[in-house]
Amino acid sequence: MYRIGVWDHFSSAHYLRNYQGKCEHIHGHNWKVEVVLEGNTLDKSGMLLDFGILKKHLKEIMNILDHKCLNDDVEFFKEVSPSSENIARFIYQELSNRMENKDVKVYEVRVFESENSYAIYQE
């Protein structure tokens, strides 16, 4: 099994639904996102997937989230509370939909809302 990973970041605002505490009010984060892909076979050049392709896909997803109020501006979060856990799931699903080579799968997405707090989503 081979795994590769990249990271990127975005800045956005959100507020948590069904939550009592200061995070129920609108606030922002500078999010860091790490994604890991996995697969069993390498291409002719010896790569699971070109890092440039993975970075391009991740940047497309970051552009959906960057400088937005997630609750109001991103359709997925109009009904789903934009917790770190749900943001990780959103990115996982968006990235999975962009994978053209079905032998390469998204292994996990890690979303850091601060330097010492993160959530992971895997299927």
Task: Give the tokens for residue 94.
Answer: 């968006």
- The pLDDT assigned to 23 comes to 84
Concerning whether 67 is annotated as a catalytic residue, the answer is yes
Concerning whether 23 is annotated as a catalytic residue, the answer is yes
- The pLDDT assigned to 16 comes to 95
The tens digit of pLDDT for each residue in 63-83 reads 999 999 999 999 999 999 999
CA distance 111 to 98: 19
What is the CATH number for 92?
Answer: 3.30.479.10
> Choosing from 9, 23, 24, 29, which is the catalytic residue?
23
- The pLDDT assigned to 102 comes to 82
> Choosing from 108, 113, 115, 123, which is the catalytic residue?
113
Q: Total structural domains in the chain? A: 1
> Choosing from 24, 27, 67, 123, which is the catalytic residue?
67
The tens digit of pLDDT for each residue in 81-123 reads 999 999 999 999 999 999 988 899 999 999 999 999 999 999 9
pTM: 0.96
Share of the chain above pLDDT 70, in %: 100
Range of the domain at 117: 2-121
Burial class (CB in 10 A: 0-12, 13-18, 19+), 73: middle
CA distance 76 to 38: 26
